[in-house]
């Protein structure tokens, strides 16, 4: 039961409330608040990525879900996510930035470009199929213009 309460809390308080606050901040020129919410989203994204691994602790750590909700609440308060970012996330990302960029570029060039090529091939084949089917129908004389439907009746002459 507590797992479901925690899940709702994570979504509502961890994403819903900060999303609305971020929306409000985008309407201002307060760069400190912009930076604060960008940092929050980096920390929250990291939290969401490791959350399934952490949830294993629910079987070991008493009050795990309560602790998780308290931690998430602390992230939303002004200094919480900044502390986690400065102490944990920034040092890790800074030290691994070149490796991460190289890995992402490799994935993009080897996989995403390949996927884009496959999609382009499929679309070209579908276009050719549609074109050739239409041409075949036109040659055979099986193409009949559609009759407009008026009041649910296919025969407009009866009206």
The confidence score (pLDDT) of residue 116 equals: 78
pLDDT in tens, 39-70: 999 999 999 999 889 888 888 889 988 898 99
Please state which of the ranges 1-5, 41-45, 102-106, 149-153 shows the lowest mean pLDDT: 149-153
Whole-angstrom distance, CA of residue 15 vs CA of residue 138: 55
Average pLDDT over residues 62-83: 90
Of residues 148 and 120, which shows the higher confidence score? 120
pLDDT in tens, 95-138: 999 999 999 888 877 777 777 788 888 998 888 888 887 777 77
Mean of all residue pLDDT scores within the chain: 84
Whole-angstrom distance, CA of residue 8 vs CA of residue 72: 12
The confidence score (pLDDT) of residue 153 equals: 55
Average pLDDT over residues 63-86: 91
The confidence score (pLDDT) of residue 102 equals: 93
Please report which confidence band the pLDDT of residue 142 belongs to, taking 50, 70 and 90 as the band edges: low
Statement: residue 157 has pLDDT above 90: no
Note whether 82 and 39 are within 8 A (CB).
Answer: yes
Q: Is 37 exposed, middle or buried (0-12, 13-18, 19+ CB in 10 A)?
A: buried
Average pLDDT over residues 27-49: 93
Q: Is 81 exposed, middle or buried (0-12, 13-18, 19+ CB in 10 A)?
A: buried
């Amino acid at each position: 039961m507590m797992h479901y309460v925690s899940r709702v809390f994570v979504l509502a308080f961890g994403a819903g409330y900060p999303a609305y606050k971020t929306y409000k901040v985008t309407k201002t020129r307060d760069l400190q608040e912009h930076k604060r919410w960008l940092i929050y989203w980096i920390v929250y994204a990291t939290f969401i990525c490791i959350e399934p691994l952490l949830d294993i602790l629910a079987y070991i750590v008493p009050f795990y879900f309560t602790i998780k909700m308290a931690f998430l609440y602390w992230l939303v308060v002004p200094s919480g996510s900044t502390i986690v970012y400065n102490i944990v996330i920034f040092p890790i990302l800074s030290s691994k930035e070149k490796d991460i960029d190289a890995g992402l570029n490799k994935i993009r060039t080897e996989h995403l470009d390949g996927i884009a090529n496959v999609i382009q091939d499929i679309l070209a084949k579908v276009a050719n199929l549609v074109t050739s089917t239409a041409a075949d129908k036109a040659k055979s004389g099986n193409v009949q213009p559609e009759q407009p439907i008026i009041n649910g009746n296919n025969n407009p002459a009866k009206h």
